[in-house]
């Protein structure tokens, strides 16, 4: 792990953003750890420090001609502040997608996507990549082109069976402030459920549990 990633983990701990317990994730899976990045992102100086390594890596690859970025878009709620801070450091506009009353991701508030516009999606935590894909579907339908994904915490599973359980691999280059391996379970196999430990659902996505 590099120094930037180590420092991001320190910032997460200092901010109380790494929680332990029994959590129902937005994916429907259960976990004994949860990242509440809002606790980190409430401090502008910590948000800036956590994401400076991501910005450095993005600038390096853009300078090498791998891609260009015209706009940063964060899925609400977790991606809003991340998108803003990345946009601020990169000198780019930053907007967000959000869910309508039915739970579908949409673009509102007068935000517009230009045909061919090259977009960086910004997230706080990436677990399955589902919200990023939903965000990308909206942007691509409007004529945008997603070129990369950036996040504070990449907590995707590393092993084959777990990766399949958590969803398809991210289809863009991913730029992360830190990578953390966290074990998750299907509800039927959750050892914490078997111990009758109540879970909490800290995520913002609406779904049927």
- Please tell me whether 129 is known to bind a ligand: yes
- Please tell me whether 99 is known to bind a ligand: yes
Phi, psi dihedrals of residue 66, rounded to the nearest 5°: -70, -35
- Please tell me whether 125 is known to bind a ligand: yes
| Pairing status of strand 118-126 against strand 145-154 | parallel
- Please tell me whether 130 is known to bind a ligand: yes
Task: Count how many residues are written for the chain.
Answer: 209
- Please tell me whether 179 is known to bind a ligand: no
- Three-state DSSP class for residue 83: helix
The residue behind tokens 């120094």 is: 3
- Three-state DSSP class for residue 76: coil
- Please tell me whether 131 is known to bind a ligand: yes
Would you list the DSSP string of 146-190? EEEEEEEEE----SHHHHHHH-PPPSS-EEEEEE----EE-GGG-
- Please tell me whether 8 is known to bind a ligand: no
Binding site members for orotate: 127, 155
Q: Known binding site: residues?
A: 99, 123-131, 155
Show binding-site residues for 5-phospho-alpha-D-ribose 1-diphosphate. Answer: 99, 123-131
């Amino acid at each position: 792990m590099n120094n930037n990633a180590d420092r991001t983990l320190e910032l997460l701990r200092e901010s109380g953003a790494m929680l332990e317990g029994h959590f129902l994730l937005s994916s429907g899976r259960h976990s004994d750890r949860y990242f509440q990045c809002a606790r980190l992102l409430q401090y502008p100086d910590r948000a800036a420090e956590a994401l400076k390594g991501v910005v450095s890596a993005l600038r390096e690859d853009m300078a090498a001609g791998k891609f260009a970025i015209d706009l940063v878009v964060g899925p609400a709620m977790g991606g809003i502040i991340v998108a803003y801070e990345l946009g601020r450091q990169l000198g780019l506009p930053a907007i967000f997608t959000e869910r309508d009353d039915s739970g579908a991701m949409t673009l509102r508030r007068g935000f517009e996507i230009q045909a061919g516009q090259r977009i960086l999606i910004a997230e706080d935590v990436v677990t399955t990549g589902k919200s990023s894909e939903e965000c990308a579907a909206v942007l691509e339908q409007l004529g945008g082109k997603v070129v990369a994904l950036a996040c504070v915490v990449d907590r995707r599973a590393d092993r084959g069976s777990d990766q399949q359980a958590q969803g398809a691999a991210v289809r863009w280059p991913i730029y992360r402030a830190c990578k953390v391996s966290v074990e998750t379970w299907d509800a039927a196999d959750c050892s914490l459920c078997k111990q009758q430990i109540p879970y909490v659902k800290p995520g913002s996505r609406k779904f049927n549990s």
